[in-house]
Amino acid sequence: MFEATVSEGVLRLRRPGTRWLSTGWDGGRSRAATAYNVTVPEGFDRTDLAAYREERLARAGFGAEGNVEDDPDAAPTLFTGVSMDHARGARLGSVVAYATVGLSNPAMLPVEREAASTAGTAGATELREATGRTETPPDPGTVNLIVGTTRRLAPGAAANLVAVAAEAKAATLLAAAGVPGTTSDAVVVGDDPEGEPAEFSGSATAVGGAARACVRDAVRASLRSRYPDGDVPGPVADAEHGVVTDERAEVFDP
């Protein structure tokens, strides 16, 4: 499976020859032995993220080791304000998932009943107006996921596994904290190009089902670590930062 190591605020997930698909910074498809999740300090405002990544990997002892697969430029890298002390992993079958969860910047999407559309819109507006109120500002946060499988995913299955992981994350956070995610969530998916082929990755497949379970359990474990007393920021009204998408789109027949 994938080997996880944490050093100096950096989580490295390693498995030689892995193909990656990332929705994070400098994302897209790549092939590398590693993927990284990096904790940034409070007030972080660096924009030279490639240089910053090199600094952090060198400090953590994760520099290139003479193998092209260890080139950090090819390795997907996520950034978060959440300490790697709260990183948690879960494994099932051919899949492993690692999560870091922070909810200080929740992103709400109100979905009201048709008969209560006016009340729902008013409620969303109230949440948005209350977004700045807090007595003790929480640490910055985001929800980062790195999901790996030893199966060989078809291109569409890899892309779909990103959606499966994001759906599982949203369902878990809605049940645990009343929010589907934050304004800066990201997902990285990795697979083995030499593994047993998997043409599909939906929730009814072995890969998709395992990914859903791993993401759920890793997110819940990281959430418990980050908020051990259960005092999650919760909806936008209770958090320092966040957004409510309460605009209405035009709906029409094709």
DSSP string, the chain: --EEEEETTEEEEEEEEEEEEESSTT-EEEEEEEEEEEE--TT-----HHHHHHHHHHHHT----S-GGG-GGGS-EEEESS-GGG-EEEEETTEEEEEEE--SSBEE-----GGGHHHHHHHHHHHHHTTT--SSPPPP--EEEEEEESSEE-HHHHHHHHHHHHHHHHHHHHHHHS-S-BTT-EEEEEE-TTS-EES--STTSHHHHHHHHHHHHHHHHHHHHHSTTS----SGGGSSS-EE----------
> Quick one: pLDDT at residue 131?
42
Instruction: Kindly tell me if the per-residue pLDDT of 104 is higher than 70.
Output: yes
pLDDT band at 119 (very low <50, low <70, confident <90, very high): very low
Q: What is the mean pLDDT of residues 149-158?
A: 98
Flag whether the pTM goes above 0.75. Answer: yes
pLDDT band at 93 (very low <50, low <70, confident <90, very high): very high
pLDDT tens digits along 161-220: 999 999 999 999 999 999 999 999 999 999 999 999 999 999 999 999 999 999 999 999
pLDDT band at 235 (very low <50, low <70, confident <90, very high): low
pLDDT band at 112 (very low <50, low <70, confident <90, very high): confident
Choice between 71 and 39, residue whose per-residue pLDDT is larger: 39
Q: What is the mean pLDDT of residues 23-33?
A: 96
Domain borders along the chain are 3-244
pLDDT tens digits along 132-145: 433 333 345 699 99
pLDDT tens digits along 44-80: 999 999 999 999 999 999 975 434 455 667 899 999 9
> Quick one: pLDDT at residue 245?
84
